[in-house]
Amino acid sequence: MKKKIPKFDNEDQERDFWASHDSTEYVRWERGKRIKFPNLKPSTRTISVRLPESMLEDLKMLANKRDVPYQSLLKIFLAERIKEELG
């Protein structure tokens, strides 16, 4: 029998608990199933990328033709290439 997971008053308490305890004592991971949450918005992080001005201008031109913001187009291009590379 696995240990019972305690009740937490808030996320900070839970975070501290899991940072100092082994989850295998509480959860039977072999029974776990992969699920997808298609409607969740992925977390994002702001980064800084230095691009040659000409590349940025070309990206903005392509984005304008597609009527999308250039940063969104850059994300699309990156996602497509990452998917291709990962196969």
Residues with Cβ within 8 Å of residue 6, at least 6 apart in sequence: 17
Topology of domain 44-87 in CATH is Arc Repressor Mutant (1.10.1220)
- CA torsion angle 27 32 11 45 (round to 10): 140
Q: Which part of the chain is CATH 1.10.1220?
A: 44-87
Residue 40 or residue 16, greater confidence = 16
Residue 64, number of CB atoms within 10 A of its CB: 12
pLDDT band for position 87 (cuts 50, 70, 90): confident
Q: What is the predicted pLDDT for the residue at 37?
A: 86
Q: What is the predicted pLDDT for the residue at 1?
A: 65
Query: Over 70: is that where the pLDDT of 67 sits?
Result: yes
For 21-65, write each residue's pLDDT tens digit: 999 999 999 999 999 888 888 888 999 999 999 999 999 999 999
Query: Do the Cβ atoms of 61 and 51 come closer than 8 Å?
Result: no
